Structure 1
Amino acid sequence: MPKRLSALAALLVASTAVMAQSPQQPAAAEAAPAPAPFVAEEAKEVVQTLATQLEENFVFPEVGKQYAAALRAKLASGGYSSFADSREFARAVTADLQAVHKDGHLRIGRAPPQQPGQGPRRRPGPDVQPIEKSGWIADGVAYISFGMFPGDEETLAKLRTFLAEHSNAKTLIIDARGHRGGGLEEMDLMFPYFYGKPQTLVQMDTRVAVEQRRGSPLEDGPTLVKVKGPEGVVRRSHNVIPAKEVTGLRTAKIFLLTSKRTASAAEHLSLSLKRTGRATLIGETTAGAGHYGGMVPLGHDFAAFIPVGRTFDPDNNQGWEGTGVKPDVEVPADQALDEALRRAGVEPARAKTLASLN
């Protein structure tokens, strides 16, 4: 997911825990004990709006047309005329979309109510902590575990403190096994510590039609710059600008731990570090949620997350949507930390327990 999300994309941070799940899983927002009743006329309008939005905005225009055609055909045949409640309706529409073309973020659900004074970037719930654990896990070995990248100042301040207090680490272990996504701010804070020269990390393509109609879901800046791309897309390069202050993290070994749940922005992190050779990825192939976008209102308290762009490796033009990012060292996720410690020269039994970390 991109940096400093615009109005189109900002709500992803609030809903990342929902979007990172597979389409078959019940979403956290759908767990309410009393779902709203199903109203056929409202559902018809929702499906019609969704079809138009996908046709106009989906990252791949031809796939967007396929989604729209499938929705309209089922609507015309009466396939969306009767459901037990609005929850079942949303699940059915999502399943139909995924049957046409799988996408790790695309889904429809009830739009959460906006609280007075609440901005689009909300703190994650109590079940998701941006920084879960951090500290020294062994002599010279620093450890930090992320639940997501919300990009809020509180999380960034904690991350700055961690980087400063562990700047002389010989080994850094970044645990992204439970990372559910977010934006680029945390990455742009960490990367200058890790690299000694400017580099291109990955590139990002957004449908030009989306930018023309709605504005860009990405905010250009020193690390995110427009470059020449093919017709029909606006291409940007995500770059790293090394910090002026040289610390031990620039030469430290970095191990990134991954799992099947590692999703979205965590996969952006994974591909960036792997492609540049700056980290060794240990664990499992990631979730495969590689397209970015945002929540779009559909009316009647429904909204859909519609992907409008993709992130990819500029060397081969390949992203990770549907396939994930493969680790360099493949082990079960629950063994990834032990493997990283072993490669850092530490016996797992000698490492501090994670429970002792902040």
Structure 2
Amino acid sequence: MRRHLVAAGAALVLVTGLNGVTHAQTAPAAAAVAKPMDAAERRDVIEKLATALKANFLFPDIGARYAGQLRANLAAGAYEGLTDPTAFGEKVTSDLQALAKDGHLRLAPESAWNTPRPPAADIPASARASGPPGLEDARMIGDVAYLRFNQFVDEPPEPEKARAFLLAHADAKAVIIDARPHRGGGLAVMDAILPLLYAKTTHLVRMDTRAGIEDSGPLTDGPTLVRQASPPTLVSHDHVVTPDKGETRLQKVPVYYLTSRRSASAAEHLALAFKRTHRATLVGETTRGAGHYGGVLEVGDRFGAFVPVGRSYDPDTNWDWEGKGVTPNVAVPTDQALDEALKLAKAAGAHPG
């Protein structure tokens, strides 16, 4: 995915899209990971993480509180005796989450960012990825166009693949977008396919980014990201879709969006966009509740921290899904969501076979 270096003070944050599955660019050697931590390294990591959170975290007051708590814990000896990097990262993460919970904030050895965490054992098969990141499946089910994503990958050819499938099947009588295994990503896929689904220019959601990092960060002004008035600590953009004028047939058909409790980050961005604009019916389970976007910051020689620098939300109500998730219009168990969406499509006039 596209990476951006986001500068804020002395900190550099590696940001990829909107998601929580960003990985560090390189993994340290296994021997380096296994080397026990000493007091000097623990102190160095805590100080660098505290500085980065104060400079970059979405909410300046919470970033300052995080920094103060980490330094207080270090002075009180809370991290003494932690020589295993993984255990140290888990302890620091737990301390931060106890102060102010955030679905993305995490400290871990850099090697952990190169190894995606497996889904929990209770995650149904329909919510598990079954292919490489991106568009897992695109096919017709009768006259219903079906697309399944496990991630929104910004790099070509992923956005073009999704758009090309819809263009090739623009005579479909309904569209189903399956985001049940979806763990995050960027805006490019949405920007490629949504003009085919919306009949009028629509403001989808608002995105606030910590001021001072936006120029080289995840969001820049453009046709789909329109700058809005904001307080001095933030830079606000509306994510906007403008209808495709060359192909309009899918702008009139019903759209169904499948969700699970595993659907996270950019998947939730689209869920809220569809729900608040009434363009799609959400079918499945309440999403995960990871609403703050950001990226992985290198902390010391062998750690990375995902530092949230922004949030997406409903500009009419100021509501976001952090810690809550987006609820479906039609609540059914994850494994039943596709069958339910096909029933709804059939009732609306489609013929899924």
TM-score, with length taken from structure 2: 0.85
Taking the TM superposition and a 5 Å limit, the aligned residue runs for 1:319-338 are: 319-338=320-339
Matched, 1:157 2:150: no
Distance 1:143 1:275, change over 3 A: same
1:130 maps to 134
Deviates more, 1:6-15 or 1:159-168: 6-15
- The answer for unaligned runs of 5 or more in structure 1 is 20-28, 116-124, 353-358
Deviates more, 1:43-52 or 1:83-92: 83-92
Cα distance in 2, alignment partners of residues 68 and 147 from structure 1 = 34
2:172 maps to 169
Matched, 1:192 2:195: yes
Output one character per residue of 1:47-89: Cα deviation in whole Å (capped at 9) or x when no partner: 1110111112111111112211211111111121222511111
The Cα shift of 1:216 comes to: 3.5
Matched, 1:299 2:300: yes
Give me the CA root mean square deviation. Answer: 2.8
- Which secondary structure does the structure 2 equivalent of 1:344 belong to? helix
Cα distance in 2, alignment partners of residues 113 and 60 from structure 1 = 26
Contact 1:142/1:169 (8 A) holds in 2: yes
Distance 1:14 1:321, change over 3 A: closer
Contact 2:130/2:136 (8 A) holds in 1: no
Distance 1:255 1:10, change over 3 A: farther
Output one character per residue of 1:285-318: Cα deviation in whole Å (capped at 9) or x when no partner: 1111111111111111211111111111011011
Distance 1:33 1:156, change over 3 A: farther
Count, aligned residues: 325
Distance 1:14 1:339, change over 3 A: closer
The Cα shift of 1:35 comes to: 4.3
Contact 1:49/1:298 (8 A) holds in 2: yes
Cα distance in 2, alignment partners of residues 33 and 351 from structure 1 = 55
Output one character per residue of 1:93-128: Cα deviation in whole Å (capped at 9) or x when no partner: 11111111111111012225999xxxxxxxxx9964
- The answer for unaligned runs of 5 or more in structure 2 is 7-12, 115-128
Cα distance in 1, alignment partners of residues 18 and 325 from structure 2 = 22
2:122 maps to none
- Which secondary structure does the structure 2 equivalent of 1:83 belong to? coil
Deviates more, 1:33-42 or 1:239-248: 33-42
Distance 1:48 1:322, change over 3 A: same
The Cα shift of 1:281 comes to: 0.3
Paired residue type of 1:39: M
Cα distance in 2, alignment partners of residues 17 and 44 from structure 1 = 27
Contact 1:51/1:71 (8 A) holds in 2: yes
1:54 maps to 53
Cα distance in 2, alignment partners of residues 288 and 72 from structure 1 = 28
1:39 maps to 37
- Which secondary structure does the structure 1 equivalent of 2:282 belong to? strand
Contact 1:145/1:175 (8 A) holds in 2: yes
Identical counterparts, % of pairs: 47
Output one character per residue of 1:105-163: Cα deviation in whole Å (capped at 9) or x when no partner: 11012225999xxxxxxxxx99643111110112x111110010111102123213211
- Which secondary structure does the structure 2 equivalent of 1:63 belong to? helix
- Which secondary structure does the structure 1 equivalent of 2:346 belong to? coil
